[in-house]
């Protein structure tokens, strides 16, 4: 009998499968389809201080091996999440949830973290300093070690919960960003977010997305994710939540060998709403196939 349990920043998970922020909403749509308590956890939709409509449409485009999105952090704002979404979530999900937060200033990140501090059922804060789809925030914080550290420090002062800094792949040296976050007090890092990309409409001779650029996700980005997780694992001593192009149990094992403690599933949820459930079910068979008895022993095994 294989053991799929892992421990992320002191919280034990039944398995390492975590649907990624922006692909699982606040859980309600998926809870209507299956019992989402089969998951290790999930990262809820990126939440900001004020409500956001997001970017104008079109803001989704398909590619040969993935998709582009420039949704732009559409969400109802942190107070609506506290008053409406979290109470509903607690009725259908009985594990610790990962709260993904974002901001447009250092103070805003800290404020959102502070408002969520007393909410039950939140196991970790996943702090998005890497979103490439918004202007005036997001990626600008994740592209510079000093700014990444500044946000980390501010959120660290605002919460006692474990914080995971979500890093951008659109940088020259992601390991340097991860080290800066660790030194500033992060309990872990999440990577990778989407790669900055573009498509052009041949008939209109203009970008397909109204925002011009968007974030590339899906199978195309997995080799980049594996490489960056591998590099960051060698640079820091805090846990890594890996993501990027994951759609099978074998993908999960690969990211864990590179150094991930837990693994988020993103774009696959948008093409198949049962994707994360299927990966949870496939995981024991994949472990048996590759001779893995305790999944936690696989972490960083390729180093």
Question: What does the pLDDT look like over 208-243, one tens digit per residue?
Answer: 999 999 999 999 999 999 999 999 999 999 999 999
Q: Is 275 exposed, middle or buried (0-12, 13-18, 19+ CB in 10 A)?
A: buried
> Is the pLDDT confidence value at 23 over 90?
yes
> Is the pLDDT confidence value at 136 over 50?
no
Averaged over 278-299, what is the pLDDT? 98
Share the mean pLDDT of the chain. 95
Q: CA 257, 169, 70: angle at the middle one, nearest 5?
A: 120
Q: Which residues are catalytic?
A: 131
> Is the pLDDT confidence value at 45 over 80?
yes
Give the span between the Cα atoms of 192 and 264, in whole angstroms: 10
CATH 3.90.1150.10 is held by the domain 6-298: no
Lowest mean pLDDT: which of 132-141, 219-228, 287-296? 132-141
Averaged over 194-206, what is the pLDDT? 96
Q: Give the tokens for residue 236.
A: 């820091």
Averaged over 120-132, what is the pLDDT? 89
Q: What is the pLDDT of residue 139?
A: 57
Give the span between the Cα atoms of 148 and 125, in whole angstroms: 15
Q: Are 267 and 66 contacting, i.e. CB atoms less than 8 angstroms apart?
A: yes
Q: CA 263, 85, 13: angle at the middle one, nearest 5?
A: 30
User: φ, ψ for residue 256 (rounded to 5)?
Assistant: -70, -40
Averaged over 92-104, what is the pLDDT? 96
Beta bridge partners of 263: 17, 242
CA distances from 101 to 75, 242, 275 (A): 11, 17, 24
> Is the pLDDT confidence value at 134 over 70?
no
Q: What are the extents of the domains in the chain? A: 6-298
What's the start-to-end Cα distance of the chain, in Å?
26
Nearest to 161 by CA among 193, 119, 130: 119
Query: Rounded to two decimals, what is the model's pTM?
Result: 0.96
Quickly state the pLDDT bin for 130 (edges 50, 70, 90): confident
Give DSSP secondary structure letters for the chain.
--B--EEETTEEESSSEEEPTTSSTTSHHHHTTS-GGGSS--BPPPB-SS-B--SPSP-EEEETTEEEE-----B--HHHIIIIIHHHHHHH--SPEEEEE--SSHHHHHHHHHHHTT-TTEEEEEEE---TTSSSSTHHHHTSHHHHHHHHHHHHHH-SS-EEEEPPSSSS-HHHHHHHHHHTT-SEEEE--PEEE--EETTTTEESSTTS-EEEESGGGHHHHHHHHHHHHHH-SS-EEEESS--SHHHHHHHHHHT-SEEEE-THHHH-TTHHHHHHHHHHHHHHHTT-SBGGGGTTTT-
């Amino acid at each position: 009998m294989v053991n799929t349990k892992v421990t992320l920043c002191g919280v034990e998970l039944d398995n390492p499968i975590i649907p990624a922020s922006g692909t699982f909403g606040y859980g309600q749509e998926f809870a209507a389809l299956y019992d989402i308590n089969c998951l290790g956890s999930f990262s809820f939709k990126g939440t900001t201080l004020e409500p956001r409509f997001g970017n104008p449409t079109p803001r989704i485009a398909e590619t040969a091996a993935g998709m582009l999105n420039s949704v732009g952090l559409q969400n109802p704002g942190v107070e609506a999440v506290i008053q409406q979404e979290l109470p509903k979530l607690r009725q259908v999900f009985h594990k610790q949830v990962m709260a993904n937060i974002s901001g447009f200033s250092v103070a805003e990140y800290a404020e959102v973290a502070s408002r969520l501090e007393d909410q039950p059922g939140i196991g970790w804060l996943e702090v998005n300093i890497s979103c490439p789809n918004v202007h005036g925030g997001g990626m600008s914080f994740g592209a510079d070690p000093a700014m990444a550290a500044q946000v980390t420090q501010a959120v660290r002062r605002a919460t006692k919960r474990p914080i995971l800094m979500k890093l951008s792949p659109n940088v020259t040296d992601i390991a340097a960003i991860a080290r800066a976050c660790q030194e500033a007090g992060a309990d872990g890092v999440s990577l990778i977010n989407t790669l900055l990309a573009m498509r052009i409409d041949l008939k209109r001779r203009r970008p397909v997305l109204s925002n011009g650029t968007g974030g590339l996700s899906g199978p195309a980005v997995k080799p980049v994710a594996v490489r960056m997780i591998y590099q960051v694992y060698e640079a820091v001593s805090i846990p890594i939540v890996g993501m990027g192009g994951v759609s099978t149990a074998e993908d999960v094992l690969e990211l864990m060998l590179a150094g991930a403690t837990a693994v988020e599933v993103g774009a696959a949820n948008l093409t198949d709403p049962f994707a994360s459930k299927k990966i949870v079910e496939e995981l024991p068979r994949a472990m048996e196939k590759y001779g893995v008895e305790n999944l936690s022993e696989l972490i960083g095994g390729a180093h």
